[in-house]
Structure 1
Amino acid sequence: MPNRLQDIMRRRDIVLGPGYQFSETIPVEFVSSFGAHLVDRDGNDYLDAYNNVQGVGHAHKHVVDAVCRQMAAINTDTRYPQKLLVDYAERLLATVPPALSKLSLPCTGSEANDLAIRVARFHTGGEGIIATRWAFHGRTREVASFSPMLGAGSPLGPNVRLIAAPDPRLVGSGCSLEDYMRDQIRSAIRDLDRHGFRLAALITDSAFTSDGIFTHPVGFMKAVVDEVHAAGGLYVADEVQSGFAQLGDSMWGFSRHDVLPDIVTMGKAMGNGFPISGVVFRPEVSHEFGQTVGYFNTLGGRSISVAAASAVLDVFEQENVRERVVSNGATLRAGLEALTRESPYVGEIRGSGLYLGVEIVKDKRTLEPDSARCEAIIKDLRDRRVLISRTGPGSNVLKVRPPVAFTAADASRLLETFAVVARHRL
């Protein structure tokens, strides 16, 4: 490891607070970027097939120019009239069903989910929250209380109940996935009631990312949401990870299930790396909260962040992003399936668009997770300058989640590199 990098790491350990981690076992100092590529100090090009925060591409010129122009002009908050802000809100709301017509702007996905649950509690008068068994929705104290992925060191709230992810393999014979998920919701609601908690909300990541990535089959969510509404609760669709066309066949993951959420939360790719997130409400859900409590975020909705977010929507309109995601995602999935078809160590390949999971197991019959093999594959790919990550309760699902700027050439490079690694590991 270069002395320069060692020095950065040493100084970092001295000055940064607890809990900071590197994204790789062996850290790399990146100094420039473009599209789905990161370049280190020595000029080595790494394919970024993991970081979808810069969704429309690292250092995208249109976004950079929009931010620079706004920064050189003015940067005000939502307490002042901003035409740019109103224009953006109208454009963003045009991408969701008309019944979702009110937008609030925090800074992060954690803040968005925090506000969503706060409003849900206020509207319903309930405290109970239902989430999936290995979900991650953020890191504020409130949101961490229903993010079991954070582990034993971050306890769940007594008002939280967990349900299994929609894995069709868990469904018994004679039962549909829809029935299986509905029964879990009913059981969770009964248990909340028994312990004195009225239901406030069900919150799900629309790709069930931390649970291992489950995007198919679609349609079962309607029965789930109906049960939640019947119990007086709200449905919060967490699109922080799956939104902005990451799943390809729609702008938002919830729309694939033909359901109408009460609240939708957004973040990550919203500002292409600039701190902006969104919470979209049905107006009848948020009205009283707005009148009685109100909401203001000093940095949420500032001119510069809105300029970045507006430029992201420009790119979606100008570059046919969703069509590109569908095409390159299909190529990527087909290639991964072909390369792993005969492997005894791949349980299945899941996902949609440019959000794919490759389940690594010790035995296809038992589906016992193999986190060590999964980590070895990630390291081998990284050594060949392709970056991915992993997910799932067993840390055994390869997470391939590139920015939507991913091109056909990028997909080919990933598959060619994966083929080399697969020959040794799969």
Structure 2
Amino acid sequence: MGTQASKEENSAELKLAVDRVKNCIENHRSNVCSIDSAVNAQNDSVELLSQMTSGTNMYFRERHCTENEQSAQNGPLDMTQNLLANIQNTLIHQVGALNESFGILENCIREISAHYSPESGSHVDTDRRTLVSARTRTSKDRFSTVMYESERRMNSKEVSSSDAEFEESDIGTVRALRSENKAITSQKNELQMKLKETEEVIKSFQDENRRLNSENENLRRTTAEIGRVQKQKEEFERKCAKLEMENKKLNDDVHRYRSEANACYSLENTIRRLQETVDQQKRRILDLEDEKRKIKERKMIVPVQLFYQRKDELMTLVVKELSLMMDTQMQTKNIQLEIVKCENISRIQPDKPILVLCINSSRLGTDASTAIEGVHKSGRTALLIFHHKNIHALPNQPSDRMLTSSEFKQLGGIIDLAFLTGKGIYPCDMNNLAVSCIESFIQRNVSGK
């Protein structure tokens, strides 16, 4: 059993420990109240977040937004997720602090209960050693030691009356602490239930958030698919516009080709008609050529009258030479001359060509007038003047320039020829010209018949 000073010292230590327990309980009560307020505020935040999540879900369901609008509307969702993460972290820290506070309070109550338990013993030296060691320990360890020593002193018979009174007041405090601990435990259970409900709400909110993220991802994919389909639509529209332009061009080409085909068809018809006309003309030409050939084969008989008033051997020779020359020349023209000799003027036919023969032996004017005396003078009458001279003695001027009287003007022609007794009508420029003139005269009169 210790001294009175040691008892007072032990009572002071125990009182300090009890005060510390009261302070701990007050701090624990304040901590619990603040945690309760924080939990209620966080429940309100969770409900607000749930409403925002529901509104966001309905918004994404009711409206198909584009990719830019979706990125702009992801802002509230990201903010909601960040707020949810902060609430979760705060709750985790508050739960840890609350559990630590409950642990400290339970240890205090357990130590006080053990101190006042009847099973524990008491010894003064032990009390003193315990109190000495308590001074060197932490406040929590000292509190445990003091509570243990106090419990031992309650069961000891050496306790003084003042200690007994202190212990009785301490027992009342412990009982109050137990009652308050029950209330705090009940409040803790309520807070744990609220925390559990909050965790369930948070879990449901997380599920809803995951579902929204899935729907958001599906919506993003759908938006990307819509963008891809829109690009395909634009590409298809460009191809359609290009095909329409090509189709229009082809239609224009078809119309142009049809017009050209119609023109070609009309041209072909014209060519066919022209070809038919050409064929007809060719057949006509062939017919004409055949007719010409037949005409050529059938010689034209042209009667030519010869008249001369001079009757001698020289004239007979001239007639013979002239007949041979004209027959030879007209054979090339497919004309057969029928020479008719008119012995006197009465036998001359005015409607047929007549060649009047004249031999220039003296004076040209006298010989020519004598040759055409009494003959009907017209375009069908030609005067042939035979010059009985060599080529060097032939006149320089034609006779039609020298015979200018009216009677000669009425004739169809005056033709000069060169003649010699031994040569006949010999080749020279005068005779070549005479042959052409006689041929023209005969054809002219045959055509005018």
Q: Same fold per TM (> 0.5)?
A: no
Structure with max Cα Rg = 2
Structure with higher helix content: 2
Structure with higher strand content: 1
TM-score range, shorter chain: under 0.3
**TM-score if structure 2 supplies the norm length?**
0.18
Q: Which has the higher contact order (CA 8 A, sep 6+)?
A: 1
